Amino acid sequence: MNQRTIEMIQLLSKERKEIVVSGFAEYFQVSQKTIRNDIKEINQILSDNEKEQIVIKSGGRITLPKDFEDNIYLFTIGDYYSYKLSKAERKKIASVMIVNAPDYITLATIAENLFVCRATVINDLKDIKAFIQNGNLTVESHANKGLRVDGLESEKRKFLMSTLSPDLHKEHKNAVIKHVSVQSGDRIIVQKILSEQEDRHKKYLDDASFMEIILYLRIMINRNQMKEFLEPQKDMGSEYYMFAYDIVKNISQYCDVVTTENDIIYLSTILENARYRKNDKPGNNSLKIQIITRQYIAGISAEIGINLNGDYDFFENLSNHLESVFSAPPVDYPEIDIVDEIIEENSNILKAVMNQMPVIYQYTERRLNDAELKYIAIHVCAALERKKNKEITLRVIVSCHAGIGTSRLLLEKLKRHFNFQIVDVISAHEVIKIDPNSADLVISTVPLDNCPVEFVVVSVSFSDADFVRVGSKIDAVRNSKNLPAAIEENGISAQGMIEVLKPLVYESFDDTNDANQFMKKMRCIVRDYFKQSIENEGEIVAPYLHHLLTPSFIELDVECKDWRDAIRKSADMLLQRGYIEQQYIDAMIHHLEESGPYVVLSEGFAIPHAKIEEGSLKLGMYLIRLKNPVEFGIKELDPVRYVCCLSVMDQKSYLKAFFNLVNLMKNNRFQEMLDQAKTPEEAASIIINYEYSIL
């Protein structure tokens, strides 16, 4: 059978409405005669196995035998041996294998993966090479090593994209996607990151472009994890740079991959050529809560000495929880024994949750009650369990009283958070048949009688309390069987190092108070060290000035009454676009009233800003040139003609742009050129040219 026939069988097994031959012909873009021949081939297999056959009635109506779904196994769908790949399919699959290979790949390896003989690959080789060369790549042959592709990494990625893209939007995926792995990263997390950044930047991709970007991002993750990085990309000052920057930054954080400045520039080019749709969705508090949640998780991570910043599920679950908490009156949470037990065993987590609450209270005046704080602590404990059990390879059986279907839903949730080896999915009544040597743990939605191995009961919805419950059971099973515990990626965590050093400290001091004081200092030093290590890991290059000051972030000849008016007008567009809150503008003016015109950094130039916690939501700049300069109150630098409002999210990402702007504004020639600019586009071009001159 060919790939089309296999897909026909899959569609027939799922379809419940009437199917006609002409419908399949249109779907697969072949003749009706071809479809009838495919059905004959299917019927031949059914006949050989003495099964009822498919009937084609008048008008081309296809009637399936009643037991058709029960006989699907006869076609062994998904197995290479079950159908013969066409030459075109072999060409594409082999080409992608060669292009994606980090080094030489042998003909024998290609043949083995295609389940064909080596002679078939040799016969296809001329077409394979020609297909690859059409993608601006060349194929090198080596007598003993095999084949490898030479060319720019960007061309390799473009080739992989173009080969996989045509069938992305059809239910019947092409054979390449089905049988060659060139994508990495959790698809769901990548989709959520892209959707989040669409909202953040108010740039909404159409469905086709959205799927193509997802495809590219997962190819990028795969290639970077193979250490196949992009060659240097020319920065063209794309207005999509910050959109790409935020996407890549989050991909790096949550998909555990090192990314570079070149990845951002290349992605910005792809985004620039993508198709977008209009979206008039009203603004909501989701973005603000997401930003605060990230700050909160960073604070929790620093306090407990364990990095939870890369757990996207923790971020998503906690941000959704906080949004529901602050969008409704306080909830009367029921008393649940397991919650109290978890909190009692993790009092340090509850303390950290409470200590970091000021980060959240900057958003709302309502103070959370004890029950609400406990449920936030449960989210943290669940994240810790996910991290701790990341590398546990227990053999697990999933069981559910509601049957296989519900069990499989639970199975998908477990796969997202644990590295279990799932050995079986069964109904609850079958547990008595389990071989005690076949599994280490059963996860069930109901209590089990006569279960021969350890089991833990969870809800089908699999809440954070269930995460912790499963984690506790894993610890018990691991200890009883002497299984190794998972370790931190760097070998030891901040908390682990503190626990190792703690006995030595107390042995070295006669006075307990002195030991306590020393431990307090040591905790700060160790946690700061680990925090810096985490931040530097896979760090993304900070944006340049021209990435932030694109034409849409520059305004010329603005009329202002005084310095307060100048600050407001330099900040107004950032406020409208969701970069800052109103309180940020008020704070900037208040700080100048209290401390004087410290924001005037050179003659004629001011860069007003406030603290992150005073309403900054996103990294951004907005530059205005005043029609009539105003005085800020510093004689030697007044009057001020250029005001650039700055909003920041951390202590690092803005520095490059900030320092370049300060240096340029001290350049008299640069200011003269900027004075002569007639449009924001001209001003942005001047910034790009001068910034490159100082790099």
Of 555, 561, 688, give the one whose Cα is nearest residue 622: 555
Contacts 24+ apart (CB under 8 A), 143-147: 145/104, 145/106, 146/104, 146/105, 146/106, 146/107, 146/109, 147/98, 147/104, 147/105, 147/106, 147/107
Exposure string of 321-338, with b = 16+ CB inside 10 Å and e = fewer, is bbbebbeeeeeeeeeeee
Catalytic residue among 201, 321, 417, 609: 609
Query: Token pair of 473, please?
Result: 């059971």
- Element containing residue 623 per DSSP (H, E): strand 620-630
Calpha distance 258→59 (Å, rounded): 58
The distance between the two most distant Cα atoms of the chain, rounded to a whole number of Å, is: 99
Calpha distance 380→348 (Å, rounded): 11
302, 610, 661, 649 alpha-carbon torsion, rounded to 10°? 30
Instruction: Please name the amino acid found at residue 179.
Output: H
Query: Token pair of 15, please?
Result: 């379809």
Radius of gyration of the chain (CA): 31
Q: What are the φ/ψ torsions at residue 315 (nearest 5 degrees)?
A: -60, -50
- Element containing residue 30 per DSSP (H, E): none
Instruction: Please name the amino acid found at residue 622.
Output: Y
Q: What is the DSSP letter of 210?
A: H
29 burial via Cβ count (<10 Å: 0-12, 13-18, 19+): exposed
Calpha distance 47→38 (Å, rounded): 14
Calpha distance 286→655 (Å, rounded): 27
Sign of the dihedral through C-alpha 245, 246, 250, 253: positive
Catalytic residue list contains 546 = no
Angle between helices 32-48 and 3-14 (to 10 degrees): 80
Q: Which residues are catalytic?
A: 609
